[in-house]
Amino acid sequence: MSATPFVSVYVMTYNQRDKVAALAEDLTVQDYPADRFEFVVLVDGSTDGTAEVLDDLAEKVPYRLVVLRREHEADYLCSKRRNECVAASDPRTDVFVHVDDIRVQTDFVRLHARHHAAQALKIVSGAQSTGDELNWDFEKCQRRHLGGPNGEARATEHWMAMWGCSYSYPRRLSDMLDDGEFDRPFDERMTDWGGHESEFALRAHLAGAELVYDPAVGVFHQDHTETRDAARGLDYEERVRVGSDRNMAYIKRKHGLAEIPRW
C-alpha cells in the first residue's frame, strides 16, 4: 500500500442537508492530498435539497465528491446502504472511512490513513464529542477510558465500541469479510437501526483483525433535535430503541452469544 493510501470517506443521509454540507466543507481543508481521497454520499430520497447542494459542491471541492441518489427507504441506515457506498467507491480505494452526522478536524483523513499504511488488518474508531456548539472535548467521549495513557491509541477487544461516526478499515479486510451472499461485507440481514459496524467488527476480530480506539481521530457529532428528527420522518428515540433491540438479538443468534458484551 502507498504511504498515502487512497481513502474513501462515505456516509448515508436523509434530509440532513446542512450537516452533510458542513462535513463536505470540512473535507476541503484536510492536510492530506486532495487527489488521494474521495467523499461518497448516499442521499436516500431526501426532500430538502441535499442532492442539489452536493451537486453544486462537487464542482467546487478539490477532492472527488460522489453523490448516489436512491429512493427513500425507512431503514436507510441498513447494511445494504453501507454496501452500496463501498461498491460505488473508486477502484483505487485502499481504506474506507464510514462516518455519520459529524464535523472533522483538518487531520481527520491523514490520521485514519496513517493507521492503515502498514497494511495490517485493522479497524480504527475515534473519539466523539457532542454538545450544542462545535467542540473537540475528549472528556465528552463516552469511550475515553478505552484510550491509552495520555490519550494514546490502544488496541481493544470491545467490538461493540466500534462506531460508525469515525470508523476505518482497509479494502483487504472488507474483501475478506464479503461472502457474496449476505455479508457483503456488512450483513444485509440487518435492516434496522444500530449495531451494523459492531457486528462487522466482531467478524473482523474473529478473523484476526486488530480493533483500535484512537482518541486523536476525533469527531464532533452534530446532535439530533426534535425538529431535525421530524424532518427525517421518524421518531428517533423510539426507532433507535426498537431497532437496536432487534439487531442486538440478531447478533446474539448469529454468533451464539449469551449476552452482548459491555465496553
Cβ atoms within 10 Å, residue 68:
17
CA–CA separation, 66 and 89 (whole Å): 8
**Closest C-alpha to 161, from 206, 112, 127, 208:** 127
11-63 pLDDT, tens per residue?
999 999 999 999 999 999 999 999 999 999 999 999 999 999 999 999 999 99
pLDDT of residue 1: 72
Q: Which residues contact 70 (CB under 8 A, 6 or more apart)?
A: 42, 43, 44, 45, 76, 81, 84
pLDDT of residue 241: 84
pLDDT of residue 227: 45
**Closest C-alpha to 11, from 60, 50, 61:** 50
What does R_g of the chain's alpha carbons equal in angstroms? 17
Q: How confident is the model at residue 230 (pLDDT cuts 50, 70, 90)?
A: low
The whole model's pTM is what? 0.94
Q: Is 115 exposed, middle or buried (0-12, 13-18, 19+ CB in 10 A)?
A: buried
